[in-house]
Structure 1
Amino acid sequence: MTVPDSRFAGLSCYTSNLAGYQAGEFADTVDRFAESVRIAVRKDLPEGELAFSHHRVPLERLPDGTRLAWATAPADGVVDRIDAELRCYGRVLVVTDNAALPWSPSTNGTTHAPHWLLVDDRRGDDWHVVDGFRGLLPAGEQEPYAGWLGTAGLLAVMTPPSSWRPEQDRRNALAFGFWMPPPVGVQPQWLVRMDGAGNKPELPGAWLLDEGEALEFLRDHVVARPQAVGAHLDDLWAVAQHRVFRYRHLGDDAAVQAWSDLPRALRFVVESARRGRPRSALARTTFEHLRQLEHDRSTTPAPAAGRPHRQTM
């Protein structure tokens, strides 16, 4: 059994638990995940909608040549298949509804959100689960967790709502950094380990892969549609937290602080717009500061030799 890895706390629920899945087996997990971080934004969606890629490499591909792939089954077939994956690899990532997790401040609420959870042991009817996610949700602070769920409890948290919101569907499909949509339907889902590299990584649509251009686009988008950005605060929080993780790994405290300030500033911009008092100057200044910071970091050496260097593609 494992415990939440504090090195990944603060990342999205996808990335923190995917990293936890890999860290017990691959010693270079922290380096690989820090180097993978990027800011890419899809620009051709209907007005007000956004999609993000947080990783420049397909993180479903593991260093040993295997890969992770989506799996699904009716509820009465889930237990045997998760048990088989657990026996084979010692752990398995399952897809849950955050509003069903007993340790989530959103539990029993109506704010459903897809959430990954690591299962790493079974004792009879009990399953040991690890959740490395830490984040501020509308209902309060969610902390990392490790504990046991009975079979009925595991199936309950894996039962999805009737549908996810469109932006949540896009997050699910882009969880590994490239387009890999989960199976259609409302059956429980999890990830299985398979041989081979799979399909060529793709990002369908028109994307801004240059980070300076992506930040300019986000600046203009937030200024023009501050209320619509409310649906994407989780995405922008993930952008900031992945950047914080990367710069913390690089030992760049100034960049860590600058990116840590973004979610609070965006929440203020969105709430002010809802009250009829848009804060365009704050949005513009915040993104310009981050764009300049990223430009400066891309033209100067990394703070420590041998650590990941920033790339633009």
Structure 2
Amino acid sequence: MRTDPTAPAGAGLSCYTENLLDYLSAYSPHAAELLARSVRLAVDPDTGRFSHHDRALNDLPGNRRLAYRGAPDAATALTGIAAELAAHGRALVVADSAALPWLTGTADHHAPHLVLVNGRTPHGTWQVADGFTALFNSGGSQDPFAGELSDSEFTALLAFPDGLSRTHRIRNTLAFGFPVAPPAYATYQWLAVEQGATVEQLPGGPWLTGTAALQETARLLAEDMAGDGPRGVLEDVWAAAQHHLFRDAHLLAGAGAPLTPGEREAVEATTAKWREVPRMLRFAANSARRGRPRPSLVEGAFTALAEREAAAAPVHAAHGCATPADRPTAGRSPVRQGG
């Protein structure tokens, strides 16, 4: 593994969207604005599924989209990824978050993680970039990386010998906001450009948004920490916090129309509450592991967050960010609005 000292600085997004943003930036100089405006939280109370974006982030200009590809063996996967590089100059691959050679220490668990491949060198190594940054409960950490990987190093970080868990399959399917069909083989996975647009319809439902989504998230999170609910809620809530902080930072930076003093105050109050979420999650999760779940802590944090989000909703609507009423639901699965 060769490291490039000019590794990407990272935008503070999730393990899916950090490198997706880098990929999309090659198609549009406004990719960051598109991603910020897409952020919203939708929850299916019947299944505990989450959707973090109100538009299909895998759709590309020219009626094209990113779709999953899979292979049962490394040779087929490398051939497919090389073909994607030859056709489009870059590719997103699904890596094992615990197998990344640029980790410090160890990750909390094995999970899918998007990594950007920018090309191959004349001597056959893979040029890889990862802008994601994280601190893990285990004490490990991840910093942005850019460098070269050999075939063996590259395939080692891509391999999921036992496939993906049900939670991770669902998360991969909804990673771009709306369902993208998973590949037939989950051992090695990557994304390829194909013709067509994504159907922006959530499965099942009705899905909750706004205040109702935050209240449902608190319930699912408390159940998960107590061992009585679906697995993986913690990771989705952490991702939601990263996405909403990115959305708010976009507004506060004045990338669109400047905020009035009152609007800025409302967004800053929301930002402060979202910034508290990762710390609250870490404390509550550690407490639950010791046999002392704290549902009142989770409920209180999300009640306060819902109040701030409701107060800031008019600002988000005025500046084009996703709100429960921002996009029409005609032709989509039912969305139950709240707040």
Contact 2:134–2:141 (8 Å) recurs in 1 = yes
Same amino acid, percent of matched pairs: 39
Which AA in structure 1 matches 2:119? Answer: D
Distance 1:110 1:39 in 2: 24
Q: CA deviation at 1:136?
A: 1.7
Change (3 A) 1:188 1:264: same
Partner of 1:171: 171
Partner of 1:308: 320
Identify the match of residue 17 of structure 2 among 2, 5, 15: 15
Identify the match of residue 296 of structure 2 among 268, 276, 281: 281
Aligned pairs for 1:223-262 (under 5 A) are 223=222, 226-228=225-227, 231-251=232-252, 252-262=267-277
Q: CA deviation at 1:168?
A: 1.4
Segment of structure 1 superposing worse, 110-119 or 24-33: 110-119
Segment of structure 1 superposing worse, 177-186 or 164-173: 177-186
Asked whether 1:28 is paired with 2:30, we answer yes
Scaled by the length of structure 2, the TM-score of the pair is 0.82
Partner of 1:129: 128
Q: Deviations over 1:159-216 (max 9, x none)?
A: 1130322221211111111122321334311111112225x23321224332111011
Partner of 1:105: 104
Which AA in structure 2 matches 1:147? Answer: G
SS in 1 for 2:120: strand
Contact 1:2–1:120 (8 Å) recurs in 2 = no
RMSD: 2.4
Which AA in structure 2 matches 1:52? Answer: F
Q: CA deviation at 1:105?
A: 3.5
Distance 1:301 1:80 in 2: 44
Q: CA deviation at 1:156?
A: 1.6
Distance 1:167 1:3 in 2: 34
Aligned pairs for 1:100-249 (under 5 A) are 100-105=99-104, 111-123=109-121, 124-139=123-138, 140-198=140-198, 200-223=199-222, 226-228=225-227, 231-249=232-250
Change (3 A) 1:81 1:164: closer
Distance 2:288 2:312 in 1: 32
Change (3 A) 1:97 1:224: closer
Contact 1:174–1:181 (8 Å) recurs in 2 = no
Distance 1:210 1:237 in 2: 17
Change (3 A) 1:213 1:76: same
Contact 2:43–2:209 (8 Å) recurs in 1 = no
SS in 2 for 1:204: coil
Q: Deviations over 1:37-80 (max 9, x none)?
A: 011111112xxxx2210110011101343211111233222223
Partner of 1:43: 45
Which AA in structure 1 matches 2:321? Answer: H
Which AA in structure 2 matches 1:290? Answer: L
Structure 1: runs of 5 or more not aligned = none
Distance 1:129 1:149 in 2: 7
Change (3 A) 1:196 1:278: closer
Contact 1:31–1:308 (8 Å) recurs in 2 = no
Q: CA deviation at 1:239?
A: 0.7
Change (3 A) 1:243 1:176: same
Contact 1:233–1:267 (8 Å) recurs in 2 = no
Which AA in structure 1 matches 2:201? Answer: E
Change (3 A) 1:142 1:125: same
Contact 1:70–1:192 (8 Å) recurs in 2 = yes
Contact 2:221–2:233 (8 Å) recurs in 1 = no
The number of aligned residues is 303
Segment of structure 1 superposing worse, 30-39 or 73-82: 73-82
Q: CA deviation at 1:5?
A: 4.7
Q: CA deviation at 1:276?
A: 3.8
Scaled by the length of structure 1, the TM-score of the pair is 0.88
Q: CA deviation at 1:11?
A: 1.1
Which AA in structure 2 matches 1:264? Answer: R
Runs of 4+ in 1 over 6 A off after TM superposition: none
Q: CA deviation at 1:220?
A: 3.1
Q: Deviations over 1:271-309 (max 9, x none)?
A: 32343433333222211111011100113477xx8x533
Q: Deviations over 1:235-277 (max 9, x none)?
A: 1100111000000111143322210111211222233234343
SS in 2 for 1:194: strand
